[in-house]
Amino acid sequence: MITIDGTNLTAETVVRVARERSAEGAWVPVQFATESRTRLQQVREYVEREWLVPNAPPIYGFNTGLGKLKDSAISVENIERFQQMLVHSHSAGVGEPLPEDVIRATLLLRINAFARGCSAPRIEVVDRLLSMLNTGIHPVIPCKGSVGASGDLAPLAYLAGVLVGHPNAEAFFRGERMSAQDAFRAAGIEPTFKLEAKDGLAVINGSTVSLAIAVLTAHDSREILVDADIALALSLEAMRGELAAFEADIHDVRPHPGQIRTAANVRVLTAGSSRCTDEARAVTLPDESRVRAQTIPARVQDAYSLRCASQVHGPVRDALDYIDRILGVELNSATDNPLVFPTDDGYRVLSGGNFHGQYIAQAMDLLAMIMTDLGSISERRIYRMLDPTMSYGLPSNLIATLPGVNTGYSIAHCSMAALVTENKSLCWPAGADSIPTKSNQEDHVSNSTWAARKARMIVSNVAQIVGTEYLISAQALDVTRGDLGSFALGAGTSVAYDRIRDAIPAALDGDRWLHADLGAALDLVVTGSVRAAVQSAVGNLA
3-state secondary structure of 523: helix
**Residue 515 β-bridge partners:** none
Q: Which residues contact 4 (CB under 8 A, 6 or more apart)?
A: 30, 31, 32, 33, 36, 108, 111, 112, 115
Q: What is the dihedral of CA 14, 19, 20, 21, to 10 degrees?
A: 140
Distance CA 302, CA 216 (A): 36
Largest CA distance in the chain: 100
CB 523 within 8 A of CB 503: yes
Q: Distance (Å, rounded) from C-alpha 342 to C-alpha 76?
A: 24
In contact, 439 and 348? CB cutoff 8 Å = no
The sign of the CA dihedral 466, 471, 476, 477 is positive
Q: Are 194 and 221 in contact (CB under 8 A)?
A: no
- Is residue 126 within 8 A of residue 157, CB to CB? The reply is no
Residue 60: active-site member = yes
Catalytic-labelled residue, pool 46, 60, 383, 392: 60
Which of 159, 154, 205 is CA-nearest to residue 336?
A: 205
Angle between helices 100-114 and 153-164 (to 10 degrees): 90
3-class secondary-structure state, position 409: coil
The answer to whether 147 and 154 have CB atoms below 8 angstroms apart is no
As a whole number of Å, the end-to-end CA separation of the chain is: 27
Residues 6+ apart with CB under 8 A from 229: 262, 265, 266, 269, 313, 541
Residue 299 near residue 207, CB atoms below 8 Å: no
Q: Contact at 8 Å (CB) between 330 and 266?
A: no
Beta strand extents in 250-394 (DSSP E only): 339-343, 346-350
* Cis geometry, peptide bond prior to residue 155 (ω within 30 degrees of 0): no
Residues tagged active-site? 60
